Amino acid sequence: MNPHFETDTASDTTAPVCDVGVGGMTCASCVGRVERVLKKLPGVAEATVNLATESARVTWQPGAVPPAEWADLPARVARSVRDAGYEARAVDTPDADATPPTRLGIRTDVWPVLLGLLLSAPLVLPMLGDLAGKHWMLPGWLQFALATPVQFGLGAVFYRSAWHALKNRTGNMELLVSIGTTAGWALSTWIWWKAEPGDMVHLYFEVLLGKWLEARAKRQTTSAIRALQSLRPDVAHLLPDGVRRTDAIDVLVAELLPGDTVLVRAGERFPADGRVADGHTQADESMLTGESMPVAKGVGDAVTGGSLNGDGVVQVAVSAVGTQSTLHRIIALVQDAQTGKDKVAAVFVPVVLAIALVTCVGWLAHGASTEQALLNAVAVLVIACPCALGLATPAAIMAGTGVAAQHGILIKDAVALELAHRVDVVAFDKTGTLTQGQPVLTELVPAPGVDASHTLALAARLLADSEHPLAHAVRVAAAAQQPAADAAVVPELVEVANVPGRGTQARWPMGLLEGGQTLPVRLGSLRWMTELGLQLGSLQVKALQLQQAGASVSALAVGPQVLALLAFGDEPKPGAADTIRRLKARGIKVVMISGDNAGAAQAMAERLGFNPHLMDARMEGVGEVLAEVLPGDKAAHVTALKQGGHTVCMVGDGINDAPALAAADVGMAMSNPHTGTGSGGSDVAMHAAGITLMRGDPALVAQALDISRRTVAKIRQNLFWAFAYNVAGIPLAALGYLNPMLAGAAMAFSSVTVVSNALLLKRWRPD
């Protein structure tokens, strides 16, 4: 057993985290029992157990355990799991569930079912014969010989689980099965010993068959996780410093470190996250982002570990490995979303036992024989097993989150999935979400007497280290229009600082206006210039014209004088307008939030299909376009919409959107294709959001809401059928209309029905 152990780097303080596989769990009651045991470990802050993936994650409080003792924590977790009566094993064993071992060409998990079929068929045939008017009766001793190995051999797993439940003073479905079948076996054996005629009633085969079908269906619901885990390559071609491609050394991917350079040949999977250092290729990222078309990759472009390299040979500089990699985070998000909790069994089991007791006493009071009273009580115990109830919600969530992940929609938790179907307002950040996020400098308008080329060089120097999209546009324009020799005349700027939501400022020791002076240099929004008391002067009319044309306008000022206007343009993303139209057609209100001036924001809004002049009373007078919104104010606007009684979804792509994503009922973080999946601002947004969209495609917003609606519908259907089986079955069994065999078959069929209904979600495809 080799548990996975890591450090929680998402928090501000370091805290140890341990992942361990847990074998032997069968229901939600088992999950609760393991969690309670793990939470009793000294210093544990949180323990989460996932029934679908049969794994547990334990997080300790920061500082609760000295770093010198961290190496002992996996052993403590494993021992606690074993003390609870379960098997501790390695957590990263994706192939175990995908391809079970075989014996004599037959899978080992099928052998118990086949053996149960062979032993139970002779017991079932006489009962089927009775329905046809035939009386095929086996001798009592033969019935006993056939039933006993199934009861205590194949059924030992039920007894073990029931015993653990009793020791922990709780109830689970195996406890009901054990009590019911043992009572049926004991009653039939008593009848045989008394030499009285009667059938040897046995139903364990039906239970085993149902459990096997249930486990098989559960493996299908976790297929998305196994598919993602299979993307991990085992070996990487490491390039030591200064060697040729032919001298690459094969090492295990687990040995890679950030900063290493690896060689990726055509047709291989990228072993880790990084950036292309040499070469050109195309990457197939369909399993990670849902994007069906290969994506071109050149020097400097980000690549994601697990994606498939095309026909090029490239060198990749590794940036993230192991638990910090995008693939690991995706798998963790899907697993966390599939962690289902169900507390039905703990309450349901005592109630069913009480109903069974009342049934037995009631039949005896009405003069029925002891055998008849016990048979009816046993039927109540068997049909009331809460298997279907326990599977109703987790099975649908597993299937829904799994198929969503295959199409580039990562759902962080079940709460986000269940809330998304109620969304009635979707708020979009503009830049990078609805637009390409790659603005270009369309026009530079200098003030009278100011040299345009020197002004552009000054702006590029000021924004040399900025990551803002507008800064990139300025640098590109300067590189294309300004010769390097002329750029050198602009001196170094000092005290360069970003002013959030406004622009960038610095100090210039040699001003353009008065030599030798140290003057402030600022480049930012016109709103900022107004706040600083700076006047546009003769540039005022031109600024209004540019804004009315839809441009985003900034100003460059040195000291008290505005030297130039810089106009930027952006283009809508393909499909953005269609997404807005689809959301409106569903009755969902849409809002665009932008930091641009009103003219630029409204011009882009009209191209996207928004109505900038619409004031919707149902949104408390909030229009479809909110302009000149500072990053810190986005969250306030989202909160105001929520306070108006709306369920709000916020869609953004950068670090400035994180507060608004966290404030919304459902936050959707859109991966930025220009910076790479899960890096920079996109990474911060992913942590703040409940849903991550792995492609920069606005259509994923409508698709995420759609899969949420369908998943919640499946949950409701499953709960209806699960309750229907119990509501109808328990009274019928108590009144004597169901014998234990039919009750066992109905119980097994209810679980299969619920899981099969959930699996229909795997057929979902985006519009």
Instruction: Given the residues 260, 301, 429, 697, select the one marked as catalytic.
Output: 429
- For domain 410-435+572-694, say whether CATH 3.30.160.100 is its number: no
- Confirm whether 301 is a catalytic residue: no
Q: Which amino acid is at 345?
A: A
CATH class of the domain defined by 233-329: mainly beta
pLDDT value for 152: 74
Question: Angle, nearest 10°, between helix axes 699-734 and 344-365?
Answer: 20
> In terms of C-beta density within 10 A (0-12 exposed, 13-18 middle, 19 or more buried), how is residue 347 classed?
exposed
Q: What is the DSSP letter of 707?
A: H
Lowest mean pLDDT, pick from 112-121, 153-162, 314-323, 492-501: 112-121
pLDDT value for 687: 65
pLDDT value for 617: 42
Lowest mean pLDDT, pick from 187-196, 249-258, 679-688: 679-688
pLDDT value for 437: 73
Distance, in Å, from the CA atom of 35 to the CA atom of 57, rounded to the nearest integer, reads 9
Neighbouring C-beta atoms of residue 42, cutoff 10 Å: 9
Please report, for the chain, the start and end positions of each structural domain, with discontinuous segments joined by +.
4-92, 107-222+338-398+710-763, 233-329, 410-435+572-694, 445-567
Over 80: is that where the pLDDT of 200 sits?
A: no
pLDDT value for 207: 46
Over 80: is that where the pLDDT of 553 sits?
A: yes
Q: Choose from 113-122, 206-215, 409-418 the range with maximum mean pLDDT.
A: 409-418
Q: Which residue has the higher pLDDT, 92 or 401?
A: 401
For residue 201, what pLDDT band results from cuts at 50, 70 and 90? very low
Q: Mean pLDDT over residues 720-731, rounded?
A: 82
CATH class of the domain defined by 445-567: alpha beta
If residue 273 lies in a helix (H) or strand (E), which one and from where to where?
strand 273-278
If residue 302 lies in a helix (H) or strand (E), which one and from where to where?
strand 302-303
Share of the chain above pLDDT 90, in %: 6
Over 50: is that where the pLDDT of 382 sits?
A: yes
What kind of architecture, by CATH, is found in domain 4-92? 2-Layer Sandwich (3.30)
pLDDT value for 501: 74
Q: Which residue has the higher pLDDT, 35 or 134?
A: 35
**How far apart, in Å, are the Cα atoms of 677 and each of 190, 320, 491?**
67, 12, 36
Closest by CA to 356, choosing from 183, 596, 239, is 183
For residue 162, what pLDDT band results from cuts at 50, 70 and 90? confident
Beta pairing, strands 273-278 & 261-264? unpaired
Over 90: is that where the pLDDT of 114 sits?
A: no
pLDDT value for 758: 85
pLDDT digits (tens, 9 = 90+) for 34-89: 888 899 898 898 888 876 667 888 989 888 888 888 888 888 898 888 887 788 88
Long-range contacts of 524-531 (CB under 8 A, 24+ apart): 524/499, 524/554, 524/555, 525/554, 525/555, 525/595, 525/597, 526/553, 526/554, 526/555, 526/597, 527/502, 527/597, 527/628, 528/499, 528/502, 528/503, 529/555, 529/557, 529/562, 531/502
Using DSSP, state whether 88 is helix, strand or coil: strand
pLDDT value for 33: 80
pLDDT digits (tens, 9 = 90+) for 83-107: 877 888 876 544 434 455 555 555 5
Distance, in Å, from the CA atom of 475 to the CA atom of 235, rounded to the nearest integer, reads 40
Provide the token pair at 218.
């559960």
pLDDT digits (tens, 9 = 90+) for 625-675: 888 787 668 888 888 888 888 899 999 876 567 788 888 888 888 876 544
pLDDT digits (tens, 9 = 90+) for 558-597: 888 898 999 888 888 888 999 999 999 999 999 998 877 7
Distance, in Å, from the CA atom of 127 to the CA atom of 513, rounded to the nearest integer, reads 104
For residue 425, what pLDDT band results from cuts at 50, 70 and 90? very high
Q: Mean pLDDT over residues 152-168, rounded?
A: 71
For residue 3, what pLDDT band results from cuts at 50, 70 and 90? very low
What pTM was estimated for this model as a whole? 0.61
